[in-house]
Amino acid sequence: MKLLLDQGLPRSTVFPLRAAGIDAVHVGERALATAPDSVMLDIARREQRVVVTLDADFHALLALSGAAGPSVIRIRIWR
């Protein structure tokens, strides 16, 4: 599995994922921290990565574009 972690997640999140054998990249490592969500979706699609995010924006962008991918995992934190 190949993951692209959005800016809302700590950069350190990639370390336990990589230790578990998962190919994980944080947008901050690629100087994409301020890139629009549409750019991150394009990169994930090109690199066949799953986007992991806290934001609902990615699902809306995918729905509006009619694109079949990439896949998006949205993490919701309840307090």
Q: Mean pLDDT across the stretch 33-39?
A: 88
Summarised one tens digit per residue, pLDDT across range 61-72 is 877 877 777 888
Write down the pLDDT at residue 11: 93
Nearest C-alpha neighbor of 30 from the set 57, 65, 62, 3: 3
- pLDDT reading at 37 higher than 90: no
> Is the pTM value of this prediction over 0.85?
yes
What CA–CA distance (Å, rounded) separates 25 from 8?
A: 13
Write down the pLDDT at residue 78: 75
Q: Residue 65 is inside which H or E element, if any?
A: helix 57-65
The residue extents of the domains of the chain are 2-74
The DSSP result for 2-64, as a single string, is: EEEE-TTS-GGGHHHHHHTT-EEEEGGGGT-TTS-HHHHHHHHHHHT-EEEES-SHHHHHHHH
Summarised one tens digit per residue, pLDDT across range 1-20 is 899 999 999 999 999 999 99
